[in-house]
Homo-oligomer: A and B are copies of this chain.
């Protein structure tokens, strides 16, 4: 499948994600989650831990990590999809492995399987070089609405 992903890879779409960091909106802007590397079937995003992302117990809110996973799960698919198609997260499962209190959070998404209408993706989330969450999920790839 590696070759197929490489063949499908659209570098312009990938570059668009990097450029998009300059005009984040909504949840992604709140998180200040930036896509820093995009390859054929892989994507890495990073965010700085700041007070606003912590719970009253001073750990990064699990909902922050969840939202990061949901976001990269869909994004990793676009550069290997046809233009005009869109990716909808169908489901994912997340294990939180360790609390995070400071530094940078880095999420790496990797496409494990890609079919015509479905992608299965794994995500590794790390903080200062230590794995803090892992996830696995399914994206539905849809053709443009007529």
Interface set of A (CB-CB < 8 Å, partner B): 25-28, 30-31, 51-57, 61-71, 73-74, 86, 88-99, 112-113, 117-118, 120, 122, 131, 134-136, 138, 140
Contact = CB atoms under 8 A, between A and B. Distances in A.
A71 B67 contact: no
Copies per complex?
A: 4
Main secondary structure on A side of the interface with B = mixed
Contact of A66 (B51, B66, B118, B138): B66
B52 A63 contact: no
A26 B93 CA distance: 24
A2 to B, nearest CB: 11
A107 to B, nearest CB: 12
17 contacts: A26-B55, A27-B30, A27-B52, A28-B63, A57-B86, A61-B70, A63-B66, A63-B67, A63-B70, A65-B70, A67-B67, A90-B138, A91-B93, A91-B94, A93-B93, A93-B94, A135-B136
Nearest to A61: B27
Contact of A95 (B55, B91, B95): B91
A136 B136 contact: yes
